[in-house]
Structure 1
């Protein structure tokens, strides 16, 4: 008995040590970024690295917020990400509900063609997307970002949501049909409320994807007033030297909306894990 207890205790200790080590590996770069954002440029590259800045300064944050239209770039990213996320989640949820609940010719074939978007690297689509955007007069505009961000996230969201909609018991749909509810009513009043966990997951992934996207925004945006935050942060890098304190300060400011979105929608995700669709 004592040997078994010792083995279990040793195994538990090893797991905790491994988890702590993994957490430190993941958290250390972020801590260093936070530390560097409070350092003057002269102290950024000191060795050994200082995780507690001495002296500490907030000049990097002041400079990030007051130079190069940072507020405008932040607003552009908010507008693009929020609209693209809302549009993608709405459209993909309707598509997923149709694939999960309706039977029509070619349903599985169409779904598999849609999933091709998950296996094609985004960078391979830059040129055809650029040509299409040019033909649709969407170059150098926030609308061009919104349209292609929405389209680029539909496949993953539809895949996630279809599986969740299929897990909702058919009896609930049939009960609403008996009461005279049509397909739209069942989707809006039954499927969406029960799909909060999947919708929260899709929203987090989509917002993060749109907020952090760099390549497409750099490709089609030429007017400075239309830049989004990831591209704008690149402007803080000089031709001869990079002001890392300024770059990290701007990056930390850019992380705030992502954290807010995650915290807001995580609550619904946790609720969905503990609440079932049917209670016996």
Structure 2
């Protein structure tokens, strides 16, 4: 076997493995989507079809209009958007301070901040419950936002600090000579050059706050304040035999995450490869 043939076999094997992995990931989502388009009488047909004979959006219409699903969706959207915006802003400022400014105890404070990455979130539910109760944050969406921001700060600050540390200092020094303030340097130079890192933080934070279940289940008991993960869990228990309806609700819940990823995906790979590598 010559080198050219061996190279072709390696490429074919790599492509085959990638297609197999893609099929393993995509087929369950495809089945869920196809089932959501079927009437209940065709959900368990055998053999299953790759596309329904008479596709219908009735399950989606019913899911949106049933059990205040739209209210839960809006609650999750408000919480996830506020959490993501707050986390990106605060973690970016913290990361820039740790990456550029020298002050007493900087390294100690940074390592203390990183302790937040080492503690499982489930262990913090009781302390969070006690603090939220004492501050009057239970049964409020703002209570979810505050907890989600604090849970994300450690990881996102760590990622952005490594990214900021790789930006040449010459740009900041030139801006200082021109009379720019630290805030102007941060907002007009550092942030525009950090789009891959900011995109990575945005995707991770939005995904966490959109899907988080344990704290939302503990902190919110009022029906009108529930978020979508709680609603999906209740929806599945109430309509377990109506898989078309359950899958339609799940597809709706996935839509914002897919949109956020598509918007930021061109920066995502670059951000993953460059954040957290130095600093």
Structure 1 stretch 80-89 or stretch 121-130: which is displaced more? 121-130
TM-score (norm 2): 0.91
Local SS of the residue matching 1:235: helix
Shifted more, 263-272 versus 140-149: the winner is: 263-272
Give the Cα separation in 2 of the matches to 1:160 and 1:272.
9
Aligned to 2:276: none
190-199 or 173-182, which moves further after superposition? Answer: 173-182
Q: What per-residue deviation string (whole Å, max 9, x for no partner) do you get for residues 34-82 of structure 1?
A: 1111123343344444332344332211110111111111111111111
- Cα deviations by residue, 1:84-133 (Å, 9 ceiling, x for unpaired): 10000000000000000011111111111111111211111111111111
Q: Is the 8 A contact 1:37 1:249 kept in 2?
A: yes
Equivalent position SS for 1:180: coil
The corresponding residue for 2:8 is 9
Corresponding residue number in structure 1 for 2:182: 183
Paired residues in the alignment total: 272
Measure the CA separation in 1 of the matches of 2:84 and 2:102.
28
Kept in 2, the 8 Å contact 1:236–1:246? The answer is: no
Structural mapping, 1:18-37, within 5 Å? 18-37=17-36
Partner of 1:40: 39
- Structure 1 residue 240 displacement after superposition: 8.4
Moved more, 155-164 or 236-245: 236-245
Q: Is 103-112 or 233-242 further displaced after alignment?
A: 233-242
Corresponding position of 2:99: 100
CA contact (8 A) 1:236 1:243 kept: no
Q: CA deviation at 1:155?
A: 0.9
- The Cα RMSD (Å) is 1.9
Structure 2: distance between partners of 1:88 and 1:188: 16
The alpha-carbon distance between structure 1 residues 200 and 45, as it changes in their structure 2 partners (threshold 3 A), is: same
Unaligned runs of 5+ in 1: 274-280
Q: Per the alignment, in what secondary structure is the counterpart of residue 237 of structure 1?
A: helix
Does structure 2 conserve the Cα–Cα contact (< 8 Å) formed by 1:196 and 1:269? no
Q: Tell me how far apart the structure 2 counterparts of residues 137 and 272 of structure 1 sit (CA, whole Å).
A: 38
Distance 1:146 1:238 in 2: 27
Q: How far, CA to CA, are the matches of 1:105 and 1:242 in structure 2?
A: 61
Instruction: List gaps (5 residues or longer) in structure 2.
Output: 273-279
Question: Structure 1 length normalisation: TM-score?
Answer: 0.91
Q: Tell me the secondary structure at the aligned position of residue 120 of structure 1.
A: coil
